[in-house]
Amino acid sequence: MYDRHATITTTIGELTLVASDDVLIGIYYPHHWVGIERAARGIEVDAAADPVLSEAAAQLDAYLAGERTEFTLKTAAEGDPFQQRVWAILNEIPFGETRTYGEIAERFGDRSLARMVGRAVGSNPLSIIVPCHRVVGTSGTLTGYAGGLERKQRLLELEDAPVVTAGRLF
């Protein structure tokens, strides 16, 4: 069980921020594929009154306004060793760039791990901060996203990713 959570309103809809002590643990969309039960999120608080959640909200707002390209939040994501390795690779994808599931699988030395990579990407508890939206299908097409494909497209458009300007999203 985590300490606390808050729901904030953003330009891409509501997000639930979850924190424990001085660390951001999760960012979830409504109907997120892989989330944590409401009871495990801890008490509901006002994000503005909580230092960790207010800073997360401020950085997310700045990113969504096109004023920030990186996040400097203290985070911790719970996952198995493979998931942790995939999420570390996601953090290496620069703002405005994309990678395919296969390219990430190649980092493990086996392109056939693309489906496992996809499951790990889909289990990312820190959406946007750990940029899972920057992972696309083999031909640059949009594939699943916990927040929905429309949000994924909006995030990639915000970053002016070449996959968007090439018109290859769908």
> Cβ(72)–Cβ(59) under 8 Å?
yes
Cβ neighbours for 40, distance < 8 A, ≥ 6 positions apart: 1, 2
Of 83, 81, 79, 62, which is closest to residue 129 (Cα–Cα)?
62
Residues in CB range of 23: below 8 A, 6 or more apart: 52, 74, 75, 76
d(CA 103, CA 155): 20
Structure tokens that stand for 19 in this block: 């924190």
Among 112, 122, 120, 125, smallest CA distance to 144 is for: 122
- Report, as residue numbers or ranges, the catalytic residues: 132
DSSP 127-139: TTTS-GGGEE-TT
Residue 95 is which amino acid?
Answer: F
